[in-house]
Amino acid sequence: METTRLSSKGQIIIPQAIRAAHEWLPGVEFAVIDTEDGILLAPIKPFKATSIQEVRGCVGYKGKKKSLLDMKKSIVKGARKHNDRN
């Protein structure tokens, strides 16, 4: 069993052997979960990388294709409507 100490700044060091075993590198983010017996640190796993081919079509749009200019015009129109309401 490895041990560590809480610093005056509230920091703890995860022992090197544990970091190596889990392949945790500097910058890994953890969720801190409060439990009845203490805390649980769970690494936050980033989303799996995807390509545009894997996600295209997922929005379900069935209408006529829009150009970039059409999309920009719609964004400006929506922003104006939003500003008019506020």
Global pTM reads 0.50
Q: d(Cα 2, Cα 17) in Å, to the nearest integer? A: 9
Residue with tokens 């017996």: 37
Residue 56, pLDDT above cutoff 80:
no
pLDDT band of residue 34 (cuts 50, 70, 90) is: very high
> What is the dihedral angle through the alpha carbons of 37, 2, 21, 49, rounded to the nearest 10 degrees?
40
User: Can you give the pLDDT at residue 27?
Assistant: 92
What is the chain's mean pLDDT, rounded? 88
User: Can you give the pLDDT at residue 84?
Assistant: 79
Instruction: Choose among 38, 27, 28, 33: nearest CA to 4.
Output: 38
Q: d(Cα 78, Cα 84) in Å, to the nearest integer? A: 10
Q: d(Cα 76, Cα 86) in Å, to the nearest integer? A: 16
- Average pLDDT estimate for 53-77: 83
